[in-house]
Structure 1
Amino acid sequence: MDSTELRDALEDAGLSQYQAEAYNTLLRLGTASATELADSCAVPSARIYDVLRDLETKGYIETYEQESLKARACDPAVVLDDLRGRASMLEDAADEIEHRWNEPEVDQHKLSIVKRFETVLQRAASLVRDAETEVQLAATPEQYETLKPALSEALSNGAVVKATLHTDPDAAVDDVEFDGVVTEARHRTLPTPFLALVDRTGTCFAPHSHSLNQYGVLADDYSLTYVFHWYFQTCLWEVWDEVYSVRPTDPPFVYADLRRCVRDVEPCLAEGVGVRARIEGFDTQTGDTAELVGEIVDVNYAGAGETDGSPPLSQLAGQVCLTVETDGARERYTVGGWGAILEDVEATRITVLDYAR
């Protein structure tokens, strides 16, 4: 570092231009009178005494009388501690600025745009770990491995966990461990954005690695998550092959998605088979929690009854509801799925308890 750079650094550390000039020169001279110092540097003679007094107050120099006012640099220990302390503070400030820029406080916002994918992955892990109803995940095998502990915890909480792993066309997922981690898994052989949807309100999204635009979207919003849910259903789930499932072959059957339930129970109703179920969800008028136990007596959607077997997803894109006649009171309630408005209850979980002819 030359003299000019040192002078600039001293100014950055809080010295004035004249103070930095005088101290820099005094370090070179060792000891000098005020007049000699003024002659050797760019500090005007009229200002040199004030400059020396200020430097002495800061602990940089000491002055003494010997026929005239003289000055010499103090032991630099105090100066070095001050400079190193400032450097440490500036480094800490730089780290904090980087942290705040990369990881904004998500909890205070409905929607956040972030720069780093690691922020999206960390947020997804936090949401998944606390999931109670449903997790829908689209990820690479490597991302899935990172989220496995959180997914396992969600599954142990009782959440339905669906995962689509996306790879290159010639890659396989045979060596991926699904047991104790997910309810169902599918394999997509196309590049896919990262997506995690949790309990109908949490969304974590990032474009796939080949995208020109790299960013992340973090949403804590029911309506936005519903839009991403349909993207997951139609593009990332419905058309891809199942590679793992722990869904039972005999009741009880648990559904977090009413449309999936309708596709399974409608053929039974058409054959005259009784379907008893427990519905957990919310009263659409009051928002209070609701639970119904009884028989599913009807299903309703556009084109209901016109298709043999299970209806395709395209027929279930509009309003879909069940009619449930409760045990005992024999009252009938309409039950909708995610986003229900017209029905009596929005179901978050449907458990088919048994079938009876």
Structure 2
Amino acid sequence: MDSAELRGALEDAGLSQYQAEAYTALLRLGSASATELADACAVPTARIYDVLRDLETKGYIETYDQESLHARAHDPDDVLSDLRDRADLLSDAAEEIEKRWEEPEVDPHKVSIVKRFETVFDRAAATIRNAEDEVQLAATPDQFHALRPALAAAYDNGAIVNVSVHTDPTEENQDVPVDDLEGVVTELRHRNLPTQFVALVDRTETCFAPHAASLNEYGVLVDDYTLTYVFHWYFQTCLWEVWDVIYDGRPTDPPLPYSDIRRFVRDIEPLLDEGAEPTVTVEGFSTETGERTTLTGQVTDLFYQGKGAVEGIPSLPQLAGQVAIHVRTDERTVVVGGWGSVLEEVEATRITLEAVDEPQKVVER
């Protein structure tokens, strides 16, 4: 660093131009009279005395009388400590600015636009790890492997974990994970088309980023129930419903957990038509008060738009409107809906099919 750069740094640290000039000259001379110092730097003689008094007040120099006013540089320990503290503060400020630029804080019930995919991915890993009810993830094989620990943690928490792995048919070395999935995912499907990165957690958190071929790199972080519901339907229709099942870790016998009432209705309607009596436990919350609730009872009926219009298992479009089940408890019959319930008494976050009592057969004599 040359003298000009040193003077500039001292000015950045709070010295005036004349103070920086006088101090750097005094460092070079060791000690000097006021007039000698004025001659050695660009400080006018009329200003040198005020400049020296200010430098002494700041702790940079000390003055003494020797027939005339003299000055010498003070022990630099205090000055160096101050400069290093300022440097640390500026470094911390630089890091904080970078952090806030890359990853703005997500306020409750807000939507944030971020600039880097890493920010979206890190947020997804953190929210997935803490999931309690449900995870819906669309990711590449590499992204899936990176998120395995977080997905396993969510699975251990009791969350239903549905993963859609997408690959690009034009690229090589994109092996779909098929081994060691137990305890990591509930169900895994394969979409052989590239798509966006999407992670939906507990019906409130959304982490979204365009696919790698997108011209713009950005991400969307959502902490909002209603907007996450919109992303849920995108996941269901484009990333889940029509794609091949690679792994299904759901149990085959009760108790059978469901996070999606529409899938439950598809499975349970044939049983009701045959006269079976399914017993379920519903976990969710009251649509009127928002309070958590759990109830157990028998499914006596179900409803969806277009019910009875088409034979066989209803398609997803048929279940896009209102879907509800009637659950008879010991006290009364409760109308239960799924995600986005408005008309029903309870919005179910988990429906567990506990048992199915088969219809009694009439023996002819």
TM-score by structure 1 length?
0.91
**Is the deviation greater in 272-281 or in 102-111?**
102-111
- Counterpart of 2:300? 297
**Residue 249 in structure 1 maps to residue 252 in structure 2:** yes
Structure 1 residue 321: Cα displacement = 1.3
Work out which of the residue numbers 184, 187, 208 in structure 1 matches 2:211. 208
Instruction: Specify the SS of the correspondent of 1:104.
Output: coil
**Residue 280 in structure 1 maps to residue 294 in structure 2:** no
Indicate conservation of the 8 Å contact 2:109/2:224, yes or no: no
Structure 1 counterpart of 2:55, one-letter code: L
Work out which of the residue numbers 226, 238, 259 in structure 2 matches 1:223. 226
Cα 1:60–1:265, aligned 2, differ >3 Å: closer, same or farther? same
Indicate conservation of the 8 Å contact 1:194/1:206, yes or no: yes
In structure 1, distance between residues paired with 2:196 and 2:155: 23
Structure 2 counterparts to residues 140-289 of structure 1, below 5 A: 140-169=140-169, 171-174=174-177, 177-289=180-292
Cα 1:176–1:17, aligned 2, differ >3 Å: closer, same or farther? farther
- Counterpart of 1:7? 7
Structure 1 residue 244: Cα displacement = 0.7
Structure 1 residue 163: Cα displacement = 0.8
Structure 1 residue 9: Cα displacement = 1.0
- What is the number of residues matched between the two proteins? 355
Structure 1 residue 47: Cα displacement = 0.9
Structure 2 counterpart of 1:240, one-letter code: W
- Per-residue CA deviations over 1:298-329 (Å, capped at 9, x if unaligned) read 22222212323211111111111112233x44
Indicate conservation of the 8 Å contact 2:178/2:246, yes or no: no
- Counterpart of 1:53? 53
Cα 1:309–1:252, aligned 2, differ >3 Å: closer, same or farther? farther
**Residue 334 in structure 1 maps to residue 322 in structure 2:** no
In structure 2, distance between residues paired with 1:177 and 1:117: 27
Structure 1 residue 109: Cα displacement = 5.1
In structure 2, distance between residues paired with 1:88 and 1:176: 49
**Residue 41 in structure 1 maps to residue 44 in structure 2:** no
Instruction: Specify the SS of the correspondent of 2:290.
Output: coil
- Per-residue CA deviations over 1:152-181 (Å, capped at 9, x if unaligned) read 122122211111112222532145531111
Instruction: Specify the SS of the correspondent of 1:86.
Output: helix
Cα 1:176–1:79, aligned 2, differ >3 Å: closer, same or farther? farther
Indicate conservation of the 8 Å contact 2:34/2:48, yes or no: yes
Instruction: Specify the SS of the correspondent of 2:45.
Output: coil
Instruction: Specify the SS of the correspondent of 1:96.
Output: helix
- Counterpart of 1:100? 100
Instruction: Specify the SS of the correspondent of 2:46.
Output: coil
Indicate conservation of the 8 Å contact 1:141/1:176, yes or no: no
Structure 2 counterpart of 1:347, one-letter code: A
In structure 2, distance between residues paired with 1:295 and 1:87: 69
Instruction: Specify the SS of the correspondent of 1:72.
Output: strand
- Counterpart of 1:84? 84
Instruction: Specify the SS of the correspondent of 1:46.
Output: helix
Indicate conservation of the 8 Å contact 1:106/1:218, yes or no: yes
Structure 1 residue 12: Cα displacement = 0.5
Cα 1:108–1:101, aligned 2, differ >3 Å: closer, same or farther? farther
Structure 1 residue 192: Cα displacement = 2.0
Structure 1 residue 75: Cα displacement = 4.1
Structure 1 counterpart of 2:339, one-letter code: W
In structure 2, distance between residues paired with 1:8 and 1:286: 64
In structure 1, distance between residues paired with 2:155 and 2:318: 30
Structure 1 counterpart of 2:292, one-letter code: T
Cα 1:175–1:162, aligned 2, differ >3 Å: closer, same or farther? closer
Structure 1 residue 354: Cα displacement = 2.5
Instruction: Specify the SS of the correspondent of 2:144.
Output: helix
**RMSD over aligned Cα atoms:** 2.1
In structure 2, distance between residues paired with 1:285 and 1:65: 85
Instruction: Specify the SS of the correspondent of 1:278.
Output: strand
Structure 2 counterpart of 1:125, one-letter code: A
Cα 1:82–1:291, aligned 2, differ >3 Å: closer, same or farther? closer
Gaps of 5+ in 2: 360-365
**Is the deviation greater in 276-285 or in 86-95?**
276-285
- Per-residue CA deviations over 1:246-282 (Å, capped at 9, x if unaligned) read 1122222211100001111122223333322222222
Gaps of 5+ in 1: none
Structure 1 residue 141: Cα displacement = 2.2
Indicate conservation of the 8 Å contact 1:7/1:24, yes or no: yes
In structure 1, distance between residues paired with 2:178 and 2:289: 48
In structure 2, distance between residues paired with 1:292 and 1:76: 75
- Counterpart of 1:32? 32
